[in-house]
Amino acid sequence: MVRRVNEAKEVLLSNYQPGGFTIPSKGLYPFQWKWDAGFIAIGLAHFDIEKAKTEISTLLKAQWKNGMIPHIVFHTDTDTYFPGKDFHQSNLSKQANPDYPSTGMVQPPVLGFVLERLLEIATDKKDMLAFIGEQLDKVYYNHEYFYTHRDVNQEGLAYIYHNWESGTDNSPMWDAIWETMDPPHYKFERRDTTHVDPEQRPTNREYDHYLHLIEIAKKYHYEDAKIAAHSPFLVLDPLFNALLIKSNESLLALYQKLGIDNQKTKNLKQWQEKAINAFNKKLWSPTHGAYVHYDLRNQKQLPYISSSSFAPLFAPIVPPEKLVALNQTFQEKFSAANLYCCASFDPTHNGFNPKRYWRGPVWINMNWIIYHGFKRAGAIQTANRIKEDSITLIEKYGFKEYFDPRKKLENTTEGAYGGDNFSWSAALYLDLIK
Ligand code: 2M8
C-alpha cells in the first residue's frame, strides 16, 4: 500500500492552532486534550521539532497550582463541543489556573515517556535536553500530585473519578458502575453526534452518568479528598497506572541525563517500587490471566479484559510468570487471524461492539502502547503484527479516529469511524513507520 507520510503531516499542520496547540479533530474536538497533546508532539517531532516543543509547553502552562494537568484546556471559545468550559467551571477550584479555563479532571500521564521519545527523535539532542530541563519539574509535580492527592490508601496507585480520566470513555467495563448509579435525565444538547453517527458514539443515558460525576465534583469544588469520599466512580485503572509507572521510569532516566540526583529522584524511586508491587497485587486477575480494573468504591476487581489490560507490558511491571499468562490471554482473545490487532475490548465478550467508540474498535494510540509493550517483553512477532496492522488500517482507510477490528465486513463502506483527520492517528503513524 502507498505510504501516507505527506498526508499525515498535512493533518497535523491543519489541526495546529495559532495558540500553539493541536486540536484532535476539527469540529468534534476543538481544544487541547492532555494525552492527545503528548502523542501529537511525538508525530510533530518527526518534521517540526519546534512545534512539538510548543505543544508540550502550551499544555504545561495550564498546570494547576496543585500540580494537576487538566484533561482539556479550553484555549478558545467555540460551541461546537459539549460540555465546554461553562459546564466544567474550573474556577470553582482554588487550585485551578486562573489564566487557562479547563476541566477539573485529568487524563493518562503520558508526558514523561513523551519527553523521552522526543529526545530520541530530536537530531539536536543538546537543544532538546535543554527544553526537557525546563519542563521536567512540572511533570514531576504532576506525578507528586497523583501520589499525594489521588492515592486514598497510600498504596502507590492513583485513582480516577471519571471515565473520561481513563481516556477509554465508554468501555463496557464501566457498565457495572453505571448500574450502581441512577442520575437524573439531564437536559443538554449533544454536539458530538452532529459530527459523527450516533451509532459510533456513547448513548445519551451514558452522557447522563458522565455529567452527573462532574456535577458531584463541582459540588465539592473539585477538592480531591471530597471527590474520593463521595464519587460513585472511583477506579484504579491499569492503563492509567501503567502509563504513570512508565513515565516515572522516563523521568528518572531524563533526570539522570541532566545529571540531577536530588529529593525528587529519591521520591520517584520510592513511588516506583511501591507502585509496581501494588499493581501486581491489586490489578492482576489470575482468573483472567490479565490485568484488570479495580473498583475502589465497591472494593472489587472489574472482571473484564480490554486493551488496557496489556498496557503494563510497556512499563517495568510484569514479572516473568505473569508475562507468560498475559501473552497467552492476548493470543487467545485478541489475535485471531480474522481480526486486526488490537480490539479495544475483549472480542469474545458479549459487550464487544466493533463499531462503537471504546467498546471494541482499534485505536492507534493503544496500538502504539501495546506494540512497544510486546517489543519490550521480547515478543517481537506479536509486536510487529500490531505495528503492521496499525499501518495497514491507516493506509487503507486514512486518518480516522478508530477502526473496525473485523477484516471481513458485510458493507465495504464500513471499516473506519469517528472523527476525520484525527491528529494522534496521523502523529503515531509517522512514528510507527520509522
Ligand atoms: C475522547 O473523549 C472526549 C472526552 O474527553 C469526548 O468523547 O468528548 C476520548 O477518545 C479521549 O481518549 C480523547 O482524548 C478525546 C480527544 O481525542 O476524545
* In the chain, domain spans: 5-432
Atom of ligand 1 minimally distant from the CA of 103: 5
Amino acid identity at 351: G
The pLDDT score that the predictor gives to residue 410 is: 73
- Say which of 10, 48, 169, 175 is annotated catalytic: 169
pLDDT greater than 90 at residue 411: no
The pLDDT score that the predictor gives to residue 167 is: 98
Whether ipTM tops 0.90, in short, is yes
- Say which of 192, 401, 404, 431 is annotated catalytic: 401
For the stretch 272-320, pLDDT in tens is 999 999 999 999 999 999 999 999 999 999 999 999 999 999 999 999 9
Atom of ligand 1 minimally distant from the CA of 36: 14
Distance 167 CA to ligand 1 centre (A): 6
In the annotation, is 36 catalytic? no
The pLDDT score that the predictor gives to residue 414 is: 85
Grid coordinates representing 357 are 467508540
Which residue minimizes the CA distance to atom 7 of ligand 1?
169
* Residue 368 near residue 311 (C-beta atoms within 8 A): no
pLDDT confidence tier of residue 1, bands split at 50, 70 and 90: confident
Atom of ligand 1 minimally distant from the CA of 167: 12
For the stretch 130-157, pLDDT in tens is 999 999 999 999 999 999 999 999 999 9
Nearby residues of 95 by Cβ (< 8 Å), 6 or more positions away:
64, 65, 66, 68, 222
Distance 357 CA to ligand 1 centre (A): 10
What three-state secondary structure class fits 76? coil
Which residue minimizes the CA distance to atom 13 of ligand 1?
167
* Residue 256 near residue 301 (C-beta atoms within 8 A): no
Atom of ligand 1 minimally distant from the CA of 107: 14
Architecture of domain 5-432: Alpha/alpha barrel (1.50)
293-295 sheet: strands from edge to edge: 159-160, 235-236, 293-295, 300-302
Distance 202 CA to ligand 1 centre (A): 11
Grid coordinates representing 100 are 487557562
Other CB atoms within a 10 A radius of the CB of residue 18 amount to 7
Percent of the chain clearing pLDDT 70 (strictly above): 100
For the stretch 112-124, pLDDT in tens is 999 999 999 999 9
The pLDDT score that the predictor gives to residue 132 is: 98
Distance 343 CA to ligand 1 centre (A): 17
Return the closest-CA partner of residue 186 out of 162, 163, 161, 216. Answer: 216
Which residue minimizes the CA distance to atom 12 of ligand 1?
167
Atom of ligand 1 minimally distant from the CA of 357: 10
E strands, 98-209, in order? 159-160
pLDDT greater than 80 at residue 247: yes
E strands, 15-71, in order? 16-17, 21-22, 32-33
Q: Which residues line ligand 1 (CB under 6 A)?
A: 24, 29, 33, 35-36, 164, 167, 169, 192
What's the pTM?
A: 0.98
- Which of 22, 81, 169 is the pocket-test mutation for ligand 1 (most atoms within 8 Å of CB)? 169
Cα 45 to Cα 51, 162, 283: the distances in Å are 7, 31, 34
Which residue minimizes the CA distance to atom 9 of ligand 1?
167
In the annotation, is 169 catalytic? yes
pLDDT greater than 80 at residue 188: yes
Return the closest-CA partner of residue 43 out of 96, 4, 98. Answer: 4
* Residue 68 near residue 142 (C-beta atoms within 8 A): yes
